[in-house]
Amino acid sequence: MRILVPLDGSDYSRRALSFLTTRSTLIGASPEVHLVNVQPTISAPAAAQLGRALTRRIYEGEAEAVLAPARKKLAKAGIEAQTHAENGHAAERIAAVADELKADLIVLGAHGYAEFKGLLFGSVTHGVLARSKRPVLVVRGLAAPRGDLLRTGIAVDGSKFGLAAVKFALRHRSLFGAKARMTLIHVVPDFVMPVMADLGGVAVPTFTEQEIKRLQDRDFEKAVDPARRLFEKANVHADEVRLTGMPGDQVAAYAKKNLDVLLVGSHGYGGFKTVVLGSVATRIAAKCETPLLIVRA
């Protein structure tokens, strides 16, 4: 597995490193880990005065101050990492390096904002999501999960986006632990009963409880069965959880109480769109404190 970890020396980026150092199964599988630091570009007049060689040494020196401690921390955990010193627009360079490396995963630490703020994770993470179609793990928790075995949830809705998350989880099982507990999660509509008035003006429900249950059962099977079949084909067990209500709110609440990492599929939009994930994934991201792995179909 080829993993790119952008670092800026903040507590947020150090959390991303801590997440990796707890992954003993992944470490045993000898992942290819790359660390990247992007320095702001020195102004053209200043760079002209300094000269190309000195400017490059400044970039590399500032980057090494961030990368060296991270490289040492990973080495202590048994992970050898390659480092990249870049300069320019942080999100653009991170996305470009991820594409150049053909990274299987980008791991980013982020603080996160409330949904109405527009930027859910902070400008760099938001910018990477807007520019890259590669899977991104956003680590916002205050502490890394304890132990190698992760309680891993995958939100599915029957679409190719949810199935992309399932395929990622099955292809890169070492990230989640040798015996990780996998759970398929789907939120069925509550089918709030429309009512009509009878001749006497009394409100009468148009669906019975039995009919609502049948509709919900049908919805759940349609959403979960394609993912279930992928797990069966891979000979991997997955639990199944059915929730009811607003998908984003329900999945985020379940993840907070029951999961160490949550996977969601997303179509994503370009960099000039306000929303980069799609409506349900955005709602989950706004509410979810659990490490969130976003997979693009």
Global confidence as pTM: 0.85
**From CA 290, how far away is CA 151, in angstroms rounded?**
11
* Number of domain units in the chain: 1
For residue 282, which of 160, 176, 138 has the smallest C-alpha distance?
138
Which structural domain, as residue segments, surrounds residue 153? 2-296
The per-residue pLDDT for 137 is 93
- Kindly report the CATH number assigned to the domain that includes residue 139: 3.40.50.12370
The per-residue pLDDT for 142 is 59
The per-residue pLDDT for 210 is 85
Q: String of b and e for 244-271 (b: at least 16 CB within 10 Å)?
A: eebbbebbbebbeeebbbbbbbbebeee
**From CA 24, how far away is CA 283, in angstroms rounded?**
32
- The residue written with tokens 């942080």 in the block is 90
Phi and psi angles of residue 247, each rounded to the nearest 5 degrees, phi first: -55, -50
The per-residue pLDDT for 114 is 40
Average pLDDT of adjacent 10-residue blocks, the chain of 297 residues:
92 86 92 92 71 74 87 93 90 94 92 46 77 89 74 93 95 92 93 54 66 90 96 96 91 92 76 52 77 88
Rounded-to-10 torsion of CA 261, 270, 12, 148 = 20
**From CA 104, how far away is CA 1, in angstroms rounded?**
6
No. of helices (H) and no. of strands (E), the chain: 10, 12
Handedness of CA 233, 238, 243, 249 (dihedral sign): negative
Are the CB atoms for 247 and 186 separated by under 8 Å? no
**From CA 13, how far away is CA 107, in angstroms rounded?**
9
The per-residue pLDDT for 273 is 41
Rounded-to-10 torsion of CA 266, 293, 119, 94 = -100
The per-residue pLDDT for 79 is 93
Listing from the earlier edge strand, what are the strands of the sheet with 81-87?
81-87, 32-39, 2-6, 105-109, 136-139, 292-296, 261-266, 151-155, 181-188, 239-244
C-alpha separations of 188 from 151, 244, 245, 258, 296 in Å: 22, 5, 7, 19, 23
Distance of CA 250 to the CA centre of its chain: 17
